[in-house]
Amino acid sequence: MIGIFDSGFGGLTVMKEYLKQYPEFDYLYLGDQANNPYGPHSKERIEQLTMKGVDFLVKQGCQLIIVACNTASADALRAVQQKYEGRPVILGVLIPAVQEALGQSRFGNIGLIGTRSTVASGAYERELEKHSECYQPNDKRAREKVKVYPQACPLLVPLVEEGMLKNPATRMILRNYLRPLKHAHIDTLILGCTHYPLLQQEIERMMGKNCRVISSSKASVMAMRSYFEQHPELLEKLSKNGTRKYVTTDSPERFGELGGRFLGERIEVERVEY
């Protein structure tokens, strides 16, 4: 079974991509809605909460765990990976997004938007530096060092959760957040938050056709293909009965209602305590 961990229902944008690419697997989705949002929390708190959520998924028998939340991936992935030492395999969403962005970038001007905590962690910058070999522009003159332009967008998560996707207030706020990135002439923008794929069309429109927009939710699922190729034993081990289970640490009703919007289908949700 694949476990998907998120701070709430945002990770359903990741789950949605998994269900499209790999409908055959069994899934257990855990949204820690009781402690949501993670974005404004300290690194220590995010580590503690992520550890508890991952512990729960391990106890349920997940052989592969995806930390779908960017904030948790940025602040806590290393700690949970160190604890479990590869058994089960625990993966985050940052590296696939970074590799995709570097692969697509033409001039190495990469923007990043995310929660306050994701941006403050500097984790995306570290991964961009570590994977700089993925940046291979055709034009040799463009082969300068990659420059990263991070921008925290703390208001976007609540706006998306309120369903204000097409609201003029959301457009105005989004335009404000994106302005410095436009001025920096970024050529690639990483959507470093589970909620932003719901605003992707609007973001693409605002950034214009010279900027490629990379969704970390989509990139993380696309990267699994080569991961499974390199680790066929994991692919073999994962059960494939097509079951899905959704659990949350808070009200299942609210989770079901909002989660359905993220996933694009109705879901039954159970409450869990751990």
- Annotated catalytic sites, by residue? 69, 193
Least gap, CB of 82 to ligand DGL (angstroms) = 21
Binding of ligand DGL at residue 38 (CB under 6 A)? yes
Residues 216-255 touching ligand DGL, rule: CB under 6 A, are none
Tell me if 10 contacts ligand DGL by CB under 6 A.
yes
d(CA 97, CA 21): 17
Query: Could you say whether residue 215 binds ligand DGL (CB under 6 A)?
Result: no
- Residue whose CB is less far from ligand DGL, 105 or 194: 194
For residue 164, what is the DSSP state?
-
Between CA 148 and CA 72 the distance in angstroms is: 21
Q: Is 33 in the site for ligand DGL (CB under 6 A)?
A: no
Nearest alpha carbon to residue 206 among 64, 272, 111: 111
195 touches ligand DGL by CB under 6 A: yes
Task: Considering only the stretches 2-10, 17-25, 145-153, 175-183, report the one whose residues sit in contact with ligand DGL under the rule CB under 6 A.
Answer: 2-10
Query: Among the candidate windows 5-13, 52-60, 94-102, 255-263, which touches ligand DGL by CB under 6 A?
Result: 5-13
Contact 134, 102 (CB under 8 A): yes
Structure tokens at 152: 């925290």
Of the pair 22, 38, the CB lying nearest ligand DGL is at: 38
How is residue 199 annotated by DSSP? G
Q: How far apart are CA 170 and CA 202, in angstroms?
A: 10
Is 108 or 192 the residue whose CB approaches ligand DGL more closely? 192
- Taking CB under 6 A as the binding criterion, the range among 31-39, 82-90, 122-130, 240-248 that sits at the site for ligand DGL is 31-39
Contact indicator for 99, 131 with CB cutoff of 8 Å: yes
| Smallest separation (angstroms) from ligand DGL to the CB of 227 | 20
> What is the Cα–Cα distance from 90 to 81, expressed in whole angstroms?
6
* # of chain residues touching ligand DGL (CB under 6 A): 18
**Please, which residue, 106 or 261, has the CB nearer to ligand DGL?**
261
What span, in angstroms and rounded, lies between the C-alpha atoms of 106 and 212? Answer: 10
**Kind of pairing between the strands at 269-271 and 244-248:** parallel
CA angle (136 as vertex; 133, 139 as ends), nearest 5? 150
Nearer to ligand DGL by Cβ, of 187 and 263: the residue is 263
The CA dihedral of 29, 35, 38, 44, to the nearest 10 degrees, is -110
Q: Can you say whether residue 122 is alpha, beta or left, with left for phi > 0 and alpha for psi between -120 and 50 degrees?
A: left
Nearer to ligand DGL, 165 or 234 (CB): 165
Residues 4, 7, 97, 263: which binds ligand DGL (CB under 6 A)?
7
**Prior bond of 37 cis (ω within 30°):** yes
Q: Closest approach of Cβ 171 to ligand DGL, in Å?
A: 20
**Which parts of this chain interact with ligand DGL (CB under 6 A)?**
6-8, 10, 36-39, 69-71, 114-115, 118, 157, 193-195
